[in-house]
Amino acid sequence: VLADLIKQYYPDFGWSLPKDLPRLVDTPPQKPPHRSIRAFVLMPFGGHYDSYYATVYKPGLEAAECIVQRADDMSAPHPIIMDVQRAIAEADVILCDMSGRNPNVFYELGLAHAIGKPVVLVSDNLSDVPFDLRHIRIITYDFRTPDWASKLRDGIRAAVLSIDPNDVWPPPLPKG
């Protein structure tokens, strides 16, 4: 390409260019490799929680380039807990809303911690967080403030992007 331009604008200059120069090919800029993170969401179902999933949790995780799933996204004809256990095991990150102290959510959170999955914890009330989890960073939100949803989405995104796969907490429970 450069040699062609020189020949075009300075035809007498070509004598000094080596004849065997490799041709330069214009290549488009390379995109960084796409991050594909599987995220599974543990949370209560129904009512306002369903709208939180659709408008806050899922978009926040997708902003961190996650493929997002929740138990009600599955439809296989077998026990739901099989799907939940498999999804937890296959996920790269778990998002857990502890609001309301839902027993199913805490059971599933225990499974995730037992196998050493990184978990982003959120709650609308710190009094819903059991003592054994209070030492972990928790993203709190107050749905009564005008910009709570965007702050929570941004917090989820930042938390997921900060996970170092080589330094995950909690470590899995030892076998035997």
Write down the pLDDT at residue 20: 60
Q: What is the mean pLDDT of residues 9-21?
A: 56
- Mean of the per-residue pLDDT values for the chain? 87
CA contacts within 13 A on the Cβ side of 160: 32
User: For residue range 128-151, what is the model confidence (pLDDT) as tens digits?
Assistant: 999 999 999 999 999 999 999 999
Assigned token pair, 165: 């796969």
Percent of the chain exceeding pLDDT 90 equals: 68
Q: Could you tell me which of 63, 76, 77, 71 has the C-alpha nearest to residue 91? A: 71
How sure is the predictor about 76, in pLDDT bands with cuts at 50, 70 and 90? confident
Res. 156: pLDDT tops 90: yes
Q: Per-residue pLDDT for 43 more than 90?
A: yes
- The closest alpha carbon to 153, from 51, 42, 55, belongs to 55
Longest dimension (CA), the chain: 83
More confident residue, 35 or 136: 136
pLDDT digits (tens, 9 = 90+) for 113-133: 999 999 999 999 999 999 999
